[in-house]
């Protein structure tokens, strides 16, 4: 018996599908890369963080991961 590794969901009438086995490891890598980018910008370029950096980074990380996931498939 094979497990279903595809997630399907609908937001605002648009349906999305993603493969769990490839999306979540990619999500970890993208979020780690975004955190590293934020760390480098704060330490080396004197960037001052705002209150929207963390939530915006997480949301953009999910969207960027989905975009990469679509391009890879």
Distance, CA of 38 to chain centre: 15
Identify any residues that bridge with 17 across adjacent strands, giving them in sequence order: 8
Query: Using an 8 Å Cβ cutoff, are 12 and 26 in contact?
Result: no
**12 occurs within a structural domain:** no
Residue 48: the pLDDT is 94
Give the ranges where the chain is alpha helix by DSSP (H).
Answer: 20-45, 53-72
Residue 73: the pLDDT is 78
What confidence category does residue 2 fall into, taking pLDDT thresholds of 50, 70 and 90? low
**47 occurs within a structural domain:** yes
14-66 confidence digits (pLDDT tens) = 998 999 999 999 999 999 999 999 999 999 999 999 999 999 999 999 999 99
For the chain, how many structural domains are there in total?
1
**27 occurs within a structural domain:** yes
Q: Tell me the three state secondary structure of residue 52.
A: coil
Residue 3: the pLDDT is 66
**Residue 33 domain boundaries:** 20-72
């Amino acid at each position: 018996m094979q497990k279903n590794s595809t997630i399907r969901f609908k937001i605002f009438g648009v349906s999305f599908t993603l493969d769990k086995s490839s999306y979540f490891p990619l999500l970890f890598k993208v979020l780690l890369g975004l955190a590293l980018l934020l760390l480098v910008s704060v330490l080396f370029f004197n960037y001052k963080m705002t209150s929207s950096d963390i939530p915006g980074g997480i949301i953009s990380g999910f969207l960027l991961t989905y975009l990469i996931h679509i391009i890879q498939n």
